[in-house]
Amino acid sequence: MCPRHPDRVSYVRCQRCGRPTCPECQRPAAVGIQCVDCVREASRNAPEQRTVLGGKVRGGPPVVTFTIIGLCVVSWILQLVTGGEWTRMLAFAPVVGEQDPYRFLTAAFLHSTSPVHILFNMYALWITGPFLEQMLGRWRFTALYLLSALGGSVGYLVLAGGPTEQAWYTAVVGASGAVFGLFGAILLVLRRTGRNAMQIVVLIGINFAIGLFFPGIAWQAHLGGLVVGVLLGLAYAYAPRAQRTLVSVGATAVVTLALILTAWLTYRSVALPAGFVG
């Protein structure tokens, strides 16, 4: 009788432990069959598979990529149904960034009401995210995306020109800064793994040119995200294997502190016009 299902007669035994196993508990093995308990134990004891850059090889869908896409889509729907109130609460502009620092990050989960904006960014995330998530692992990919998004807002702040410029009061939204960070990182990952990176170079050039020559596009955020993506991609892709964790954690911490310090120094170096009330 099957030990997991005592009411069922078993006509074969597990090749590993020798216990009877019914058809429901049988799993094909290289030779014969094994029971589900032995298969589970072997899976726990099997050596962990890693990519060449140290990411854990996982089956199933890219969870982090899907989660980011889901958050952006839900946020976009809330922008529409709240009549813009959701956007006003979370969008980033240099004039309000010091008072509401969370906006540096939340703006990356907002998009314009036109579906083209979110569709383009989510498509770019879809074609780069799963590969990077697999190669780098979940925590480094998450750090890369969030810090690139933060870098996009900081880049816009630094290049906005101060309180005398209109850009200082213009709100920006979109995941473009984060996406450019992924572009920069995947370029280095492809080169590190010996793959052709020319398509990514062309894609970066085209998208950056669009931001420069078409109005209404925050090219400063693109540049900020790209710089962060390149820096983290360099650390994640080229860290020595023996010091990979140390270098990755250290680079993530250094970039985070550098972005915070850059934003703080930028605000300290400017002064709002006399009589201005935020």
Encode 105-139 in three state secondary structure: HHHHHCCCCCHHHHHHHHHHHHHHHHHHHHHHCHH
**CB-based contacts of 40, cutoff 8 Å, min separation 6:** none
Identify the weakest region by mean pLDDT among 4-8, 59-63, 272-276.
272-276
> What do you get for the CA distance between the two ends of the chain, in Å?
76
What are 165-182's pLDDT values in tens digits? Answer: 999 999 999 999 999 999
Q: Residue 48's pLDDT is what?
A: 67
Place 277 in a pLDDT band, splitting at 50, 70 and 90: very low
The structure's pTM equals: 0.80
Provide the token pair at 8.
């069922």
Tell me the mean pLDDT in the region 52-80: 91
Q: Residue 125 pLDDT > 70, yes or no?
A: yes
Identify the weakest region by mean pLDDT among 13-22, 119-128, 210-219, 245-254.
210-219
Higher-confidence residue of 204 and 143: namely 143
Range(s) of the chain covered by CATH 1.20.1540.10: 63-268
Instruction: Find out whether 103 and 153 touch, Cβ atoms under 8 Å.
Output: yes
Q: Residue 211 pLDDT > 70, yes or no?
A: no
Distance (Å, rounded) from C-alpha 97 to C-alpha 108?
14
Q: Which of 108, 126, 154, 138 is nearest to 248 (CA)?
A: 138
Q: Residue 139's pLDDT is what?
A: 95
Q: What is the mean pLDDT of the chain?
A: 88
Distance (Å, rounded) from C-alpha 277 to C-alpha 170?
16
DSSP string, 60-112: S--HHHHHHHHHHHHHHHHHHHTTTHHHHHH-B-HHHHTT-TTHHHHGGG---
Q: Residue 274's pLDDT is what?
A: 46
Higher-confidence residue of 66 and 211: namely 66
Q: Residue 38 pLDDT > 90, yes or no?
A: no
Place 264 in a pLDDT band, splitting at 50, 70 and 90: very high
Task: Just give the CATH number of 63-268.
Answer: 1.20.1540.10
Tell me the mean pLDDT in the region 15-22: 87
Higher-confidence residue of 234 and 45: namely 234
Q: Residue 230 pLDDT > 90, yes or no?
A: yes
**CB-based contacts of 164, cutoff 8 Å, min separation 6:** 273
Identify the weakest region by mean pLDDT among 70-79, 80-89, 106-115, 211-220.
211-220
DSSP symbol at 168 = G
